[in-house]
């Protein structure tokens, strides 16, 4: 079991750092995480969601904690932003095929994507902080 944790400033520059962390933990646990392209996307979507919508202020840092063995990868995001609506996790992917082109939505895919890409998404509000946890089940190869 390998554990990493890092405080990342709440801005888009941290995205590359997030990628590096993921790569690193993959190396440490000897799992080819690149196979799972959805993991990178899910992490980045959660992170940018926090940056854009939680109201975290400039001085704030987002606490990112990764835990992995070869069977499962868990990533926890702890931020000091506003309370997320729990129902946000229940949002469904916006319907695409039945709509006319003019009516296609241009946003709102972020959270439904994360839910589709992860094996489990949990959200908890504790001590004035948001805890968002993603779990990915990895194939035993």
Partner 1 sequence: MLKLVDSKLKRYKLLKVESLVLDCTNFSEFKFDLAMELRPDETIILNLENVNFVDSSGLGALISGLKAIGNPDHLILCGLNEQIVELLELTCLDKVFKTTKDYQAALEEVGAR
Partner 2 sequence: MTHRILVVDDSEENRLMVRYCLAADGYEVDELDSGQELLDLGEKIVNFDLILLDVMMPNLDGFETCRRLKNQKFASNIPVIFLTAETEEDSRVSGFEAGGIDYILKPFGRKELGMRVKSHLALSRKLNEVNSQNETLQANLKRGAEIQTAFLPSKSFQHPDFNIAWNYQPVEHIAGDMFGFINFDDGSLGVYLLDVCGHGTSAALVASAVCGAITTNRKLMGYEVQGKYFPRDPSEFFELLSEHFPYEKYESYFTFSYVVINSANSSITAGVAGHPPPYQINAFDVHKINVVGPILGIDLGSKWQSQTSIFNENDKIVIVSDGILELTNEHGRFEKYMNFLLSKYASCSAADLVKSLHAQINEFVDNGEIKDDLTIICIENK
Q: How far is CA 79 from CA 8, 43, 101, in A?
A: 10, 14, 37
3-state secondary structure of 136: strand
Smaller CB distance to partner 1: residue 48 or 70? Answer: 48
13 binds partner 2 (CB under 8 A): yes
Binding mask 45-84 for partner 2 (x = CB under 8 A): ------xx--xxxxxx---------------------x--
- At 73, phi and psi to the nearest 5? -120, 125
Which C-beta is closer to partner 1: that of 51 or that of 78?
Answer: 51
Q: How many residues interact with partner 2 (rule CB under 8 A)? A: 14
What are the DSSP E strand ranges found in the chain?
2-9, 61-68, 72-79, 120-126, 129-137
Residues that bind partner 1 (CB under 8 A): 12, 15, 37-38, 40-41, 44-45, 48, 52, 93-97, 101-102, 104-107, 109-110, 113, 116-117
Q: What is the DSSP string of 91-131?
A: PPPPP-TTS-GGG--SS--HHHHHHHHSSEEEEEEETTEEE
Q: For the CB of residue 114, give the shortest distance to partner 2 in the complex, in Å.
A: 20
Residue of 90, 62, 87, 89 lying closest to 77 (CA atoms) = 62
Closer CB to partner 2, 34 or 82, in the complex: 82
Give yes or no for residue 9 binding partner 2 (CB under 8 A).
yes
Residues at the contact surface with partner 2, assessed by CB under 8 A:
9-13, 51-52, 55-60, 82
């Amino acid at each position: 079991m390998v554990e990493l944790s890092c405080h990342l400033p709440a801005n888009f520059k941290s995205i590359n750092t997030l990628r590096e962390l993921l790569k690193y933990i993959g190396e440490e646990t000897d799992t080819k995480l690149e196979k799972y392209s959805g993991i990178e996307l899910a992490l980045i979507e959660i992170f940018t969601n926090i940056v854009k919508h939680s109201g975290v202020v400039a001085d704030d840092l987002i606490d990112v904690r990764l835990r992995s063995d070869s069977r499962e990868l868990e990533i926890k995001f702890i931020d000091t932003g506003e309370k997320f609506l729990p129902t946000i996790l229940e949002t469904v992917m916006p319907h695409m095929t039945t709509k006319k082109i003019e009516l296609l939505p241009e946003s709102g895919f972020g959270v439904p994507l994360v839910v589709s890409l992860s094996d489990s998404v949990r959200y908890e509000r504790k001590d004035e902080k948001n805890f968002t946890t993603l779990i990915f089940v990895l194939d035993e190869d």
